[in-house]
Structure 1
């Protein structure tokens, strides 16, 4: 939206169980982001991008931790056999 300087947007919105409806967004200055636990926060596009970058880092860190934990468990299982 920022790169193409879109002032308005047409999109498809999932209302649940893959039931989509067409939506018209007349003003793209703000965007709602699902921040978890069913909460949506209104951000400017720059704020949303910053939040998403931080959230992506946090999720990657969590995924890396789980991968390390799984590797330890696999190594422990191999030692037992």
Structure 2
């Protein structure tokens, strides 16, 4: 009987390690990735608002501050602000003029793609959470714990 208890305790430790070392780490990676995508969406919307402000101002020149790195800013004078460079990824930049239609089209395309990606990441995080719950339920059964009595549970709605 003691040998069986030792095997159960060993299995419980293995499952707990699996939850903590694999599933929770994977969940954190997916959630960090999703947060990164939301940050990109935020940056793109900020860019859109900045370009709209430039367009509404109608001025070709612009005074701004540029981050050289490590939060070290310098003042910059842009002689022609009618054309922009937008980072499109992998070290490539798009150089073009901008208009209201341009902003709306690119915002729609970019946000649509990123929002689909965030949906996928949200589904992945839900799957990982379900796996964690499944393993925890298995551990509960393996250790012989019973469900909470009905009197200690309450309705949420």
Both proteins in one fold, TM over 0.5? yes
Q: Which of 84, 107, 110 pairs up with 1:31?
A: 84
Higher normalized strand content (fraction of residues): 1
- Structure whose alpha-carbon radius of gyration is higher: 2
| Structure 1 portions without partners, runs of 5+ | none
Secondary structure at 1:2 match in 2: helix
Partner Cα separation in structure 1 for residue 102 and residue 84 of structure 2: 7
Q: How many equivalent residue pairs?
A: 81
User: CA shift at 1:48, angstroms?
Assistant: 5.7
TM-score (normalizing by structure 2): 0.46
Q: Measure, in 1, the Cα distance between the counterparts of 2:86 and 2:75.
A: 18
Would the alpha carbon gap of residues 34 and 2 (structure 1) be closer, same or farther in structure 2, given more than 3 Å must change?
A: same
Q: Which runs of 5+ in 2 are unaligned?
A: 1-53, 137-157
Would you say the 8 A contact 1:8–1:28 is kept in 2? yes
Match of 1:12 among 39, 56, 65: 65
Higher helix share: 2
Alignment partners' CA distance in 2, 1:58 and 1:20? 32
CA RMSD of aligned residues (A): 1.9
Structure with the bigger RCO (C-alpha within 8 Å, sep 6+) is: 2
TM-score for both structures, normalised by structure 1: 0.80
